[in-house]
Structure formats: C-alpha cells, structure tokens
Amino acid sequence: MTYATYEDVVKRWTGEVELTAPQEQIETLLDDAEDTILIEFPNLHDRVDSGELREATVIRVEARMVTRHLRNPEGVRSAQLGAGPYQQTTTYGGDEPGALYLTDDDRRELRGSIRARGKVFMVDTTPPCTRSYDGWWF
C-alpha cells in the first residue's frame, strides 16, 4: 500500500491539459514510485512510523514522481520539426527515458534533515623555515 493515492495525484495535477490516465494506471505508477523510493530509502516505513519523516512529505514526493512521468512518458528532452527537406529530430534524456526517478530535491526531502554545515578552518601549509620570526620573513 502506497502513501500517496490516486486522489493525491489528481489534486496536484496542474496545467492546461486534463489528466486522462486511468485510475488503475496511476495506482500502478504509485506502487512503482514507492518501490523506487524504497530502493534508496529501505527504512522509509520505519522513519514515517517513528515520526522522523512526515507522511505528507512521502505523499508529495510519490505524487510528484508520477506527475513527472505522466507529463512526459516517453522521456523526450527535445523535439525538432522541419519543413524543408522534411526533418524530424527527437532527443531522449537519461539512461532510461520515461522511467520513474527521484530528483536531488526529492532525495533531500526524503532524507528529512538538513545537512550540517561545515565550519571554516585553515591549515598552514607553509614549511616552518619560511614562517615569520618576530614579525619578519626570512
């Protein structure tokens, strides 16, 4: 059972084109999306159950993955048509065009925490013989 439902995808659908995919297909894509998430985040259910990760976040990411796929199921990155000697060029993106995938933003949200920022530091790499002595350089 996925966190996101058919209704979650429909509520998040935007654009001028109406959502035409049947409910059964969307539910299958949601299953696939959750499976994709579980490959990278195998403890997802435990983290949601413990409250470490909000269920709403998982719903949003799953619905976003399915929406992304439904908007561009073939995975086309660019398309060109021509008129004079009849050209047509289509470029597909990624290794598996049209596949469900997690973006860096999706991963960041599913991690559930902001990475700790590093602190500024300095390492003096000059050899001891070139360091100043009493404020003077040798």
What are the φ/ψ torsions at residue 90 (nearest 5 degrees)? Answer: -130, 130
Distance, in Å, from the CA atom of 94 to the CA atom of 102, rounded to the nearest integer, reads: 12
- Does an H or E element contain 77, and which? strand 76-81
pLDDT category of residue 95 using cuts at 50, 70 and 90: low
pLDDT for position 61: 96
pLDDT for position 130: 63
- Rounded to the nearest 10°, the torsion over CA 102, 106, 108, 111 is -80
Distance, in Å, from the CA atom of 14 to the CA atom of 65, rounded to the nearest integer, reads: 14
Phi-psi label, residue 51: left if phi above 0, alpha if psi -120 to 50, beta otherwise = left
pLDDT for position 44: 94
Count of CB atoms within 10 A of residue 64's CB?
Answer: 20
pLDDT category of residue 17 using cuts at 50, 70 and 90: confident
Convert the pLDDT of each residue in 23-50 to its tens digit: 999 999 999 999 999 999 999 999 999 9
Tokens of 50: 């413990």
Residue 80 has pLDDT above 90, yes or no: no
pLDDT for position 47: 94
pLDDT for position 45: 95
Mean of pLDDT values over 51-67: 94
